[in-house]
Structure 1
Amino acid sequence: MPLATFLLVLEDYMLPCLNKKLFGIDCPGCGLQRSIVLFFKGDFGAAFDMYPAIFTLIPLVLFSIASQFTRFRFDTYIKVTLGILSGAIILVNYIFKMTHLTH
């Protein structure tokens, strides 16, 4: 299946945010699915605007998968660093979104 077809199919099956449906506010993960689609479409600016942590989460996931097959010298250090950096970006972005709501 070509990447373009896969992305179109992926967009049709995105999960709704249960937190947003129940409580009416975004959760810290809101925007991640759309950001992944934008990233793979090559729209990196829009992917960043949608979910800034995408640029640390993708390397973290890819590195974690690769480390299952290959040993890296600073494996744990890299994973922990990317994990903390991702968590910090998610937290700062969430606080920013919640304090800059426009209604």
Structure 2
Amino acid sequence: MKKYLYNITINISWADHEQWLIWMREAYLPFLNSTNLIAKHLLLRLKDIDETDGPTYALQIFVETEVLYSKFASEHLSEINQLQKARWGNNMLSFATLMEVVH
């Protein structure tokens, strides 16, 4: 059975970093868990990169099947993206990648 990893790489300004991290821990990550569609998630901080504009994180969301990912994407991603944009605006840059676990 194929498994999937949805990775979101996020750069957050130094001015908003602490509040963003609290929001991630208290709101965003619990919301992910409440969907009952993901197997697990990891929030990682990238190291050995230029942090002039702020730290960079990778949020890795593991999903057991493509069907579950499609349901997660159709029901929740738009809402999550709108909430982030409204809360952090141009002080946060992100991009996402869907990957298939092959080993």
Asked if TM exceeds 0.5, the reply is no
Higher normalized strand content (fraction of residues): 2
Q: Taking CA–CA contacts closer than 8 Å with sequence separation of 6 or more, which of the two structures ends up with the larger relative contact order?
A: 2
The bucket for the TM-score relative to the shorter chain is 0.3 to 0.5
Higher normalized helix content (fraction of residues): 1
TM-score by length of 1: 0.34
